[in-house]
């Protein structure tokens, strides 16, 4: 009897651990790893006059939680810098420095990130990258803006006072048709890729199955 109770307790522990791992997977299922430049190669562009890395970044949609991977030789490095150092290729005081040959950087907040080569001459030849990470709108509630109050452009002036002993004429009546402005539709951002939705659906179903098993086990 005691052995059976112990086996049931162990099974419950394993189920709880499995559910915990699935929840961790759910948190990271929408994160995406970008390879810098599309290939991951971090080196001097073939055309030093072209901003190849920035052009690639402008075509990409970076979000909080995504990562950026760099592959480079042992003679190079990746520096995270501020805008002034980015513009001037100043390698003396980086915010962070990576030199292991295969670096992965995670975006933990929205806004601009500036990367340059740790070799000054390489940076001057446009081995540099500016990334803009979109704001996290997953927890924001958007409501339609209230329409502005109607404006009347042609309002007739008030009539002049009538002479003494005469009845003042009635002011002309005017009607203004107020047409409410429709509320803007809620913005929708296209999914990063279809595979993420499929994986999320599968993982969610698995989590529900494991959760049900735990409840039944108890």
Q: For residue 185, is it within any domain? A: no
Quick one: tokens of 194?
A: 């279809």
CB atoms inside a 10 Å sphere around CB 41: 12
Determine, yes or no, domain membership for 109.
yes
pLDDT at 48 over 90: no
Average pLDDT over residues 179-186: 47
What domain count does the chain have?
1
With pLDDT > 90 as the criterion, what percentage of the chain qualifies? 44
Residue 74 within a domain: yes
CATH of the domain at 27: 2.60.40.420
Q: 187 in a domain, yes or no?
A: no
- Give the side-chain half-sphere CA count within 13 A for 126: 12
Task: Report pLDDT for 7.
Answer: 58
Least Cα distance to 193 among 55, 21, 61 occurs for 61
Residue 122 counted as domain residue: yes
Residue 119 included in any domain? yes
* Residue-wise pLDDT tens digits, 112-161: 999 999 999 999 999 999 999 998 765 443 434 444 444 444 445 555 55
- The per-residue pLDDT for range 92-119, each reduced to its tens digit, is 999 999 999 999 999 999 999 999 999 9
d(CA 70, CA 108): 17
Q: Are 119 and 76 within 8 A, CB to CB? A: yes
**Which neighbouring-strand residues pair with 98?**
78
List all residues 6 or more positions away from 41 whose beta carbon is below 8 Å from its beta carbon: 71, 72
By residue range, what is the domain housing residue 114? 2-136+197-217
The separation between the first and the last C-alpha atoms of the chain, rounded to the nearest angstrom, is: 17
| Bridge partners of residue 105, in order along the sequence | 68
Q: Is residue 67 part of a domain?
A: yes
Q: In the chain, count H helices and then E strands.
A: 5, 7
Residue 17 lies in a domain: yes
């Amino acid at each position: 009897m005691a052995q059976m109770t112990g086996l049931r307790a162990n099974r419950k522990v394993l189920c709880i651990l499995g559910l915990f791992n699935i929840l961790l997977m759910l948190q990271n299922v929408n994160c995406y790893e970008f390879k810098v430049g599309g290939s991951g190669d971090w080196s001097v562009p073939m055309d030093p006059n072209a901003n190849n890395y920035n052009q690639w970044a402008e075509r990409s949609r970076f979000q909080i939680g995504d990562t950026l991977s760099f592959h480079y030789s042992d003679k190079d490095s990746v520096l995270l810098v501020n805008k002034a150092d980015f513009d001037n290729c100043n390698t003396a005081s980086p915010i962070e420095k990576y030199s292991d040959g295969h670096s992965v950087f995670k975006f933990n907040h929205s806004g601009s990130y500036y990367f340059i080569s740790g070799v000054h001459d390489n940076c001057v030849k446009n081995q540099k990258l500016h990334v803009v990470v979109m704001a996290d709108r997953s927890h924001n509630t958007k409501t339609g803006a209230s329409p502005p109050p109607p404006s009347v452009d042609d309002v007739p002036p008030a009539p002049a006072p009538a002479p003494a002993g005469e009845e003042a004429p009635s002011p002309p009546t005017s009607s203004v048709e107020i047409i409410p402005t429709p509320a803007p539709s809620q913005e929708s951002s296209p999914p990063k890729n279809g595979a993420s939705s499929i994986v999320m659906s599968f993982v969610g179903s698995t989590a529900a199955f494991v959760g049900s098993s735990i409840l039944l086990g108890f």
